[in-house]
Structure 1
């Protein structure tokens, strides 16, 4: 029944996206081209509404049961409302952040919190009151990370789909039926929308979609890996390696250049690949491939011993460092930072 519901969500998403496209034009939810954007014509940007409607229908059909279900649905409604208002009226960064904090707060009050972790060599680390800000920081951070990579046709939707495949697959291994159900409902809804969103896109997901996908991925990853071992807690970070690393380097750029964290720029991963000569579609496919690599690494990481896990982490950090330097994601002005990271990675080898 779960797989059938996912298929139904995919079909519904395909059917209603054209209706959402017409609605977006009607209410003025459009994205106009400018110097920092890749598209060259006015585009409707309310596509995330189609994903959300398909998702709700899937939940009504399957009715997955969990103590956190109501809080998640209320939070998703808040995040969707925030996204819709931004797509129509272009809200300020503070108001958008307020909506994200409210949605995250609802989930936390509903009981979704990382309260403790089991340490690798024995013992338990209790977070106490810090569990609330840590959980909110994770949800808001991942929500914005997905929003930041939404710069090319099909990019955010595809990366989110790959992350959901990984999270759902690991939930299957653990026997977590609720996460599997919600994950497959989300996956069907996204793939149906991607039919219209892949290059050349006929509609953008807008903040409505990017914020919703980020919020749901953040919450599902918490449900799958909260209150576990320190090593297991790293798994969702690996799964979301592409958006997290892109956000990390974006923050560094803006701090060094003394710009607000919400300031846009054209130095994200997809911008760098485009400057290297990759086409729009090739750039998206390359990032899909990198996301899939992180997904596979996360699955392997979750199944090995602590020492093998540390080896995997070291290799991934080395790959990220080399890739960042190769494509110029940071740039020559940040050479001291690159050397610092390299020193950390290679220090153990030097000591030997």
Structure 2
């Protein structure tokens, strides 16, 4: 377990170091202004580094890289859309469609879904039944956007 944590950490730190240096050369940086709170140009490589760390962890730890192929592929697709958005400012609708597509792929190919949401109201376990797919897609898209919002707060998601 500690080896996996160290592998992931070293991978992310190494990726940030290398990608940050490259980002300065190719001008892949966020410039201050408008809604941006930072005062100097900031490299846009944090998400790429996090994905690189997760993929390194998945490929080096045989216990992690099994049935998660679709989840990992979806993560790479989402990261790619994020990079394109940083370069070209993609509107919300195409990004949402890619997020929904990723959520549906995870459900369909991995058969991962929320079947129950627990005892939220104190009356016992609440099963989702036919709404499991819809709830799962909404939850996955909500989770994706929550991380995106957190990452927008000066790269806070890296600390999570």
Q: TM-score, normalised by structure 1?
A: 0.41
Aligned length: 157
CA displacement, residues 228-287 of structure 1 (integer Å, 9 cap, x when unaligned): xxxxxxxxxxxxxxxxxxxxxxxxxxxxxxxxxxxxxxxxxxxxxxxxxxxxxxxxxxxx
3-state SS of 1:21 partner? helix
- Residue matched to 1:21: 20
Q: Which runs of 5+ in 2 are unaligned?
A: none
Q: d(CA) in 2 for partners of 1:79 and 1:28? A: 22
Q: CA deviation at 1:12?
A: 2.4
Partner-residue secondary structure (3-state), 1:112: coil
**Largest Rg, 1 or 2:** 1
For the residues of structure 1 that align with 2:4 and 2:64, how far apart are their CA atoms? 15
- Residue of structure 1 equivalent to 2:112: 112
Structure-1 separation of matches of 2:9 and 2:65 = 23
Hey, what's the Cα distance between the residues in 2 that align with 1:31 and 1:132?
A: 37
2:144 equivalent in structure 1: 143
Instruction: Check the 8 A contact 1:27/1:88 in 2, yes or no.
Output: no
2:25 paired with 1:5: no
Deviation at 1:27, TM superposition (A): 4.0
Matched residues in 2 for 1:107 and 1:7: separation?
28
Alignment partners' CA distance in 2, 1:102 and 1:157: 25
- Which has a greater percent of helix? 1
Q: Residues 54-99 of structure 1, C-alpha deviation per residue, up to 9 Å, x if partnerless?
A: 2111111112258741221121121111112112222111121122
User: What is the SS of the residue equivalent to 1:149?
Assistant: helix
- The residue aligned with 2:98 is 99
Describe the SS at the equivalent of 2:33.
coil
Partners of 2:150 and 2:156 within 8 A in 1: yes
Aligned match of 1:278: none
- Cross-structure match for 1:175: none
**8 A contact 2:46–2:158 mirrored in 1:** no
Give the aligned CA root-mean-square deviation in angstroms: 2.3
Task: Tell me, in whole angstroms, the C-alpha distance in 1 between the residues paired with 2:66 and 2:16.
Answer: 31
Aligned partners of 1:19 and 1:64: how far apart in 2?
28
Alignment of 1:58-137 (within 5 A): 58-64=57-63, 68-109=67-108, 110-117=110-117, 119=119, 120-122=122-124, 125-137=126-138
Q: CA 1:154 to 1:67, structure 2 compared with 1: closer, same or farther past 3 Å?
A: closer
Structure 1 residues not aligned, in runs of 5+? 162-352
Q: Take 1:65 and 1:19, find their aligned partners in 2: how far apart are those partners?
A: 25
Secondary structure, aligned partner of 2:151: coil
For 1:103 and 1:80, how far apart are their aligned partners in 2?
11
| Mapped contact 1:150–1:156 kept (Cα < 8 A) | yes
Q: Which position in structure 1 is the counterpart of 2:55?
A: 56
Asked whether the equivalents of residues 24 and 45 of structure 1 are also in contact (C-alpha less than 8 Å), the reply is: yes
